[in-house]
Structure 1
């Protein structure tokens, strides 16, 4: 596909809502997934530290 202007590119041949919506949904899911993984990692490390401290006492 060839576009003659930036507005034609962003219109995506009439499929802009689907194309950009898909990109947006994918970016949102990837962001949420990385935040959830970070949160789970912190939780696991916190639990491991508390277990280690309780075993050393």
Structure 2
């Protein structure tokens, strides 16, 4: 089996690799978005405490 055959996946390569890519994007978003939201929340909280 050549690399080209592996990536072609019997003619279904586009669908297979697209689904892998979308899955990776969703998994990364599930990691990154909460981290960003937590940082924003902590900044807002610190700013609110400084005002008081």
With 11-20 and 23-32 compared, the bigger mean Cα shift is at: 23-32
1:26 counterpart = 2:23: yes
**In the TM superposition, what are the counterparts of 1:1-57 in structure 2 within 5 Å?**
4-55=1-52
Q: Which has the higher helix share?
A: 2
Long gaps (5+) in structure 1: none
Paired residue total: 52
Q: TM (normalized to structure 1)? A: 0.68
> Which has more radius of gyration?
1
Could you say what the CA RMSD is over the residues aligned between the two structures, in angstroms?
A: 1.7
Long gaps (5+) in structure 2: none
Tell me the CA shift for residue 15 of structure 1.
1.1
